[in-house]
Amino acid sequence: MAFLQLPCSPLTLRTTSCSVFTAPPIKASSNLSLPTSSKPKTTKFRNWVANFHSKSLSFLLSGALSLGLSLTGKYILNKPNFVGAGISEAKVGVNKPELLPEVFTPVIDVAGFLSDGQVWVCLQERRIAQEIADLEKDTGFKLRVLAQNYPDTPGLAIRDFWQVDDRTIVFVADPTFGNILNFNVGASVDLDIPRSFWSRLAGKYGNIFYWKEKGEDASIEAAVMAITNCLREPVGPNNCSEVK
């Protein structure tokens, strides 16, 4: 898979009566380890730059976040560790399957951004879930949304729950470090979508000014619609050139 990124007061998972979807089981990709190198500093720097756009969702979900990662929009699910450029803070790993809902859903809202008990908010969550279901039916790509405030998150447990594979985009909405939009992009998706799309998407709908003014729910829904619009475009040199 290709990478993405990600913490506050304890929150309880809120489940709603919103739409539930089922998905066929798909075997998740195997773990890889970060390469090590004893080459000269120049080579190390080049390797670091090459790896900067392939951070680990495992790292994200286990609590390591970077302000810079919020703007890159690119990561890899397989690699369990990442050492940033002095702006990452390692945290204790999180794996809380007890926070997962009892039935399958493509949207898990641990933070309550989309399911705070208001009817219109529940309808918004249902719209997002339906948009995701339609996208998967039409394109085969799987979009999954996790709204969290670390460490109140199911963490690594979502990989098995969602059967994350190379055709999966995991969208983690976590406002801890300012930019709320973080993405883990599967390898097959990475072949079709320009990497610049994710950083432009984070810059437009994930910046702190946008979600502070519009609300976390508005930021999440706008990002979901932009992603589905992008994935429906024909693959070519100009696909996903605009964040709609």
Q: How many Cβ atoms sit within 10 Å of the Cβ of residue 118?
A: 11
Mean pLDDT value of segment 113-127: 73
CA dist 52 and 69 (Å) reads 9
pLDDT tens figures, 177-188:
889 999 999 999
Per-residue pLDDT band at 118 (split at 50, 70, 90)? low
Q: Which of 17-31, 35-49, 191-205, 226-240 is predicted least confidently? A: 17-31
pTM of the model: 0.67
Is residue 98 pLDDT above 60, yes or no? yes
Query: What pLDDT is attached to residue 94?
Result: 86
What is the fold of 41-85+94-232? Diaminopimelate Epimerase; Chain A, domain 1 (3.10.310)
Mean pLDDT value of segment 105-127: 80
Is residue 239 pLDDT above 60, yes or no? yes
Query: What pLDDT is attached to residue 74?
Result: 34
Give the C-alpha distances (Å, rounded to integers) separating 197 from 47, 92, 227: 23, 31, 9
Is residue 83 pLDDT above 70, yes or no? no
pLDDT tens figures, 203-214:
999 999 999 999
Proportion of the chain above pLDDT 90, given as a percent: 52
CA dist 30 and 45 (Å) reads 27
Cβ proximity of 59 and 156 under 8 Å:
no
3-state secondary structure of 65: strand
Q: What are phi and psi of 67, to 5 degrees?
A: -60, -40
